[in-house]
Amino acid sequence: MGIVHGEEMVLNIGPQHPSTHGVLRLHVQTDGEVVSHIEPVIGYLHRCFEKHCEHLTYEQVIPYTDRCDYIASMNNNFGYVVAMEEFLGIQVPERVEYIRVIMAELNRIASHLIALGTYGLDVGAFTPFLYMFRDRERILDLFELTCGARLLYNYMWVGGLSHDLPVGFVDACYRFLDDFEPNLKEYHDLLMYNKIFIERTADVGVLPAEVAIQYGVTGPNLRGSGVQWDLRKNEPYSIYDRFDFDIPVGTGQMGSVGDCWDRYWVRAQEMAESVKIIRQALQDLPAEGNVHEALPRKVRAPKGSIYKRTESPRGDLGYYIISDGKGTPFRVKMRSPAFTALSVLSEIASGWMISDVIAILGSLDIVLGEIDR
């Protein structure tokens, strides 16, 4: 029997669809069941973050950064305050640095738990999602204990933190880590080394390293393609140079380097690395230190500009801040890692089946709030 060439069909996935992880529309051209081209349509969550910033003082920008990547708000705060502190030349107390690292890494674990749990949902496994949310809930409890908020923290300020650690935080954090570490193996057995899961993800949506770099893909997606690139190691900011941790990279254990399974595996390993960092930070946490000590009375940046990037759970999160010497920023640009990750979708998903597109999209771990800003 010869191959039947039918007409191309356009399939619209979204804007409301469980696997789009937000409000995203995919304009998918299909030839039968095979996808020939995808055009992501974004902007549904555009809230004019950059325009708002021009009307706000430098401190008032921080709550807005929370709302960009709402799954990893601590890391968004972190990137902004690191950029501002370098711009202003502020040295923050040691205790503040350690607390920031602890919070950022806890948030990274929470973010990866969502990424992996919802990825399970995307490919048809419901149970791991519930298990992972159970652990994420405990991280959110720790955040709530610290700053009162569970999702949008406004915790890191330029020059300090909004609150010091509450009484009993260190013990509670150790308790969480002790409970969490054995759970990791449970997750891996449940999902990562599950035969059905491997069949769905190994060798699917392979992202070669050169393509990833061409498209500016960063973070776990880039590392899944075998590139050892992590700003915490390569361009250490804050105090990341003091900690001993590894950068897991994809090796193609189940298929080829850079497939969906490798991206999943990298995130799973990163959670263990984050646990290592948090343990070291809790160990060395200075007992003394006022978290409000280095807060400037009024943030007024000198004329000029700065581009600073940090490693958020999704990749290189950059802030380009321009100041004209007044009390409000002249321009704030956020370089979003999920934006670049989504742009590569058509390149790696073309030629796959429609159901594989869902698996590939989920493996990129996008957050639409950050893409649309």
Binding residues vs other proteins (CB under 8 A): 42-43, 46, 48, 50-52, 55-57, 60, 211, 213-216, 227, 229, 234-235, 303-305, 307, 309, 316, 318, 320, 322-328, 330-331, 333, 335, 339-340, 343-344, 347, 372-373
| Min dist. Cβ of residue 119 to other proteins (A) | 24
Least distance in Å: CB of 347 to other proteins?
A: 8
The residue among 54 and 94 lying less far from other proteins, judged by its C-beta, is 54
| 3-state secondary structure (DSSP) of residue 201 | helix
Q: Is-contact 331 346, C-beta < 8 A?
A: no
Helices in 123-205 by DSSP H: which ranges?
A: 127-147, 169-187, 195-201
If you search the block for the tokens 């590139």, which residue do you land on?
227
Residue recorded with tokens 């159901």: 355
Measured between alpha carbons, how far is 162 from 159 in angstroms, rounded to an integer? 10
Q: Which is nearer to other proteins, 286 or 325 (CB)?
A: 325
The widest CA-to-CA distance across the chain, in whole angstroms, is 78
CB of 132 to other proteins, least distance (A): 31
By three-state DSSP, how is residue 347 classified?
helix
Q: Closer to other proteins at the Cβ: 181 or 235?
A: 235
Residues 320 and 340 sit within 8 Å (Cβ to Cβ):
no
CB of 25 to other proteins, least distance (A): 12
User: Residue 5 has what DSSP assignment?
Assistant: -
**Nearer Cβ to other proteins (234/251):** 234
DSSP assignment of 57-89: -TTTHHHHHHTTSTTSHHHHHHHHHHHHHHHHT
Least distance from C-beta 17 to other proteins, angstroms?
20
Minimum distance, C-beta of residue 11 to other proteins, in the bound complex (Å): 20
CB of residue 164 vs other proteins: minimum separation in angstroms?
Answer: 28
Pick the closer one to other proteins by CB: 254 or 257. 257
- Which of 28, 165 has the CB closer to other proteins? 28
- Which residue, 148 or 325, is less far from other proteins as judged by CB? 325
User: Whose Cβ is closer to other proteins: residue 256's or residue 343's?
Assistant: 343
Query: How buried is 317 (Cβ within 10 angstroms: 0-12 exposed, 13-18 middle, 19+ buried)?
Result: buried
To other proteins, the closest distance from the beta carbon of 134 in angstroms equals: 36
Residue-wise DSSP of 247-299:
------SSSSTTSHHHHHHHHHHHHHHHHHHHHHHHHH--S---TTTT--SS-
- What does the alpha-carbon distance between residue 227 and residue 225 come to, in Å, rounded to a whole number? 6
